[in-house]
Structure 1
Amino acid sequence: MKPSFLITCLFLGSSLPAVMAVEPVSVNSLVLKTLATHPELQYYEAQIDVARGGKTKAGEIKNPELMVGKGNWRLRDLSNNYVTDGPTWQAQLTQTFEWPGRISLRKAIAQKDIELAQLGLAQFRAALTGRVRSIAWRMIAAQEQTRAAEEVTKRFQSLAAVLLQRDPAGAAPRLEARIIQANALTLGAEATQARNDLAAARFELNQLLGERAEHPLELKSEHFVVLPPPPVDVLLSRAREKNFALRARFLDVEQQGFQVALAKNERWPSITVQSYVQKQTTLTRETQVGFTLSFPLPLWNHNKGAIDAAQAKQLQAELMLTAQMRQLERDVAAQASHYRIYMEQLTQLPPDTLESFRKAAAEADDHYRMGALPLATYTELQRQYLSSVKAVLTAQMGAVDARQQLEQLTGSVPEQ
């Protein structure tokens, strides 16, 4: 038998990238670091400052306007004969006042912008926390899948090396060697895919942490806690009270109500008060002091267009709130069902399922080398070990994703 296949198998094993020795970190530490360093959080925090500036602007009173002038007073009689002339000057101060209640309405609208910005920050923090936890659990699952795939691959590669060192006599030993070699190739491809999944999760976590994509990162293996799902009624009650999107819709409805009140208030004009003083010196010294009060008469323009538009937007906000409520109830029920199904699957598994399959696969390897186990049984045990690992991890990741979705929908603090 040619040794080219052995060289290929050994090359597949030796080509695995050397992993730098790094200290494993916990999922909670990743979450805390991400929340402390993620740049997009600063954007949402700055958005709150922008909204607060808008409220300050909404409460500002218009500055008064000062007008001064200087000239010459020339006096003529009815025959256009010169009588006298002299200097003259005048000054006037103008202040415009909004109709009562208008500024408070604008401040109330701006306050809703602040609350929306604060809600946006809280929503992003919760979403970022959930995303980090989901990716971290995916990386933990990829670590476990990679470890199991490489463990089984090394067994088949080791067997292939032993069989190729012998000179098998007869068809059966040669075919068994071919089966072992084929399994080594196939499982090597599965191990490569598992490493690719692990690298992809690590790259994504490093990006969220603000690190280089290739920065070494290893997570501690954490025990998956099987928590019973709360009743759907409890979840719906939490969602109606704390769901971020729904709370934003409520704020939008309230804000549109203030917009309608503001549009109705703007039917009444602003009031302009003007005080003035004028002085001239000719044959006599004349001084005139007074004030004027002016405001537009609301005879034709009743701001009807703005009022109708504000009321239509308020109706839209109310309809969107109703639609959001229905969508929320549907999403909560769907994710609760997914979570319950995955939990039922996981609770049916014995706590030591993966460990028992791992021990059985190792025991099968020992017995096959001693000639006490047929090839078919050996191969099946190794593959079933990998399949069981994949099945358990898939169920765990499905439960993690469903739980994270429920926490987002109910506005809860993501749990481990």
Structure 2
Amino acid sequence: MKPTVSTPSSIIRPALGLVLLALAGVVRAQSTSAEAAPAVSLSTLVSEITAKNPELAFYEAELDATKAGRKVAGTRENPELSVSVGRKRVTDPLGALAGEGTAWSVSVSQTFDWPGRLALRKAIANQDIVLAELGLARFKAALASRARTLTYGLYAAHERAAAAAEVASRYQALRELFLAREPGGITPLLETRVIEAQELTLQKRATEAQLAVHAALVELNQLRGLPVDTPVTVAPVKLALGSAPDLDRILSAARENSFEFRAAKLELEQQGLVVSLARNEGRPSFTVSPYLSQEKAGDKERTFGIGLSVPLPVTGRAGANIAAAEARRRQAETSVLVAQRNMEREVITVTHRLAAKLAESAKWTPDAARRFREAAELADRHYRLGAVPISTYVELQNSYLEAIEALYETQLEALEAAGTLQLLTGLELNAVETQP
């Protein structure tokens, strides 16, 4: 008796075929769309993103605001003009009106800070500008690193999706071939089930590959400030990953160039200036007020002179401000120590990760992907001829996909680690783009 196909399998196979056809259609549609768009090199996309990213406006506006704040910090308060007008009546001892007329006065007052106060305020404002410039530089460096990683990630995702679609088409063709002929025994039936099981597994891989392409494309277009569905074709690239950097050199550069560590040190310097300003503000400002007044009620009376006023330090507010500034300075000292420890820990961790990924990548030959693809194609041809067993065929197809995934994931992780180290050290450690 010939083995029969159960009803659930007869339902699953056509449905699965439709799913894989749909996935293959998506891959072909995206490939057609990508081919329609001109290929763009990785370096061109990175330059475009760093020049046109919408978020740059935030950091540039912050820098403009701090520059405007320095202008305010370097100027005295505006003088104040006071004008008063009234009527004056003069009576004699008996209460009779002796005279009546207009009385008015004009005064201008200007407050002068204690010597050195304006210079301290300008120095604090200058530190704000340096911090804003540092923040802008850090964002640009992080943006370039992210753009480089994301662009290469999009290229890798396209390659993985293409490989998944290629293997999917092979499994689909084999399944259709098996279904077109009547099984002649238990072995063909079991081989059909193996192919169906591999199709189910491949469905997940193909879906994940397409989702990775879509996610990378959306984020890349957002960084470019373009509609998220704008097609992008990344020109084929290879990464010259180089050798692992020297840890001592990396740590030395990080102590000089790490954005977070430099920001912590700048904030400590600024807080020292704040303490000096608080002590200066313990000395009073003084206000000078020249004035002129005139009264006319029978006789004409004119008075002019100059007034001087100073606040009386009786509340103890100046001492409290100094104590608060000193406490914040001690906090800033602690922040510098914490930032240094975090920086050194991250540098050491990322350096070791980069070295491991570079060592792993060095084991891959330049033509590894091509050789695995050719082996998978060869296994497909010879399996159809009956020269290769089903186990070898399945193993080679899966090995091809796993090798493609491992190759691009390793290179992408190495690129990410190099980008992180560049942010920490300021050194150019990113892989160099080369055309294959």
- The normalised TM-score by structure 2 is 0.88
Encode CA deviations 1:99-139: one digit per residue, 9 max, x unaligned. Answer: 11111111111111111111111111111222222222222
Residues 150, 188 of structure 1: 8 Å contact kept: no
* 1:327 positional shift: 0.6
Equivalence for 1:351: 366
Choose the corresponding residue for 2:83, options 68, 71, 74. 68
Equivalence for 2:119: 104
Structure 1 80/331 Cα, relative in aligned 2: closer, same or farther at 3 Å? same
Q: In structure 2, how many angstroms separate the alpha carbons of the residues matched to 1:164 and 1:77?
A: 129
Choose the corresponding residue for 1:238, options 253, 257, 266. 253
The reply to whether residue 181 of structure 1 matches residue 187 of structure 2 is no
Residues 206, 213 of structure 1: 8 Å contact kept: yes
Q: Where in structure 2 are the equivalents of 1:4-403 lying within 5 Å? A: 7-8=14-15, 10-16=17-23, 17=26, 18-19=29-30, 20=33, 21-78=36-93, 80=95, 83-281=98-296, 284-298=299-313, 301=316, 303-403=318-418
Q: In structure 1, how many angstroms separate the alpha carbons of the residues matched to 2:269 and 2:229?
A: 48
Q: Match of 1:252, SS?
A: helix
Structure 1 292/157 Cα, relative in aligned 2: closer, same or farther at 3 Å? same
Given residue 136 of structure 1, which amino acid in structure 2 is its aligned partner?
A: T
- The normalised TM-score by structure 1 is 0.92
Structure 1 76/185 Cα, relative in aligned 2: closer, same or farther at 3 Å? closer
Measured on the aligned residues, the alpha-carbon RMSD in Å equals 2.3
Q: In structure 2, how many angstroms separate the alpha carbons of the residues matched to 1:44 and 1:104?
A: 26
Structure 1 282/30 Cα, relative in aligned 2: closer, same or farther at 3 Å? same
Q: Match of 1:350, SS?
A: coil
Structure 1 167/278 Cα, relative in aligned 2: closer, same or farther at 3 Å? closer
The reply to whether residue 408 of structure 1 matches residue 428 of structure 2 is no
Q: In structure 1, how many angstroms separate the alpha carbons of the residues matched to 2:103 and 2:219?
A: 77
Residues 22, 216 of structure 1: 8 Å contact kept: yes
Residues 109, 288 of structure 2: 8 Å contact kept: yes
Aligned-pair identity in percent equals 39
Residues 289, 308 of structure 2: 8 Å contact kept: yes
Residues 415, 430 of structure 2: 8 Å contact kept: no
* 1:75 positional shift: 4.2
Structure 1 88/147 Cα, relative in aligned 2: closer, same or farther at 3 Å? closer
* 1:336 positional shift: 0.2
Equivalence for 2:434: none
Structure 1 174/280 Cα, relative in aligned 2: closer, same or farther at 3 Å? closer
Structure 1 236/283 Cα, relative in aligned 2: closer, same or farther at 3 Å? same
Q: In structure 2, how many angstroms separate the alpha carbons of the residues matched to 1:80 and 1:6?
A: 120
Given residue 178 of structure 1, which amino acid in structure 2 is its aligned partner?
A: R
Q: In structure 2, how many angstroms separate the alpha carbons of the residues matched to 1:48 and 1:338?
A: 35
Given residue 306 of structure 1, which amino acid in structure 2 is its aligned partner?
A: N
Encode CA deviations 1:120-168: one digit per residue, 9 max, x unaligned. Answer: 1111111122222222222222112111121122112212222222233
* 1:85 positional shift: 4.7
* 1:12 positional shift: 3.1
Unmatched 5+ stretches in structure 1: none
Q: Match of 1:303, SS?
A: helix
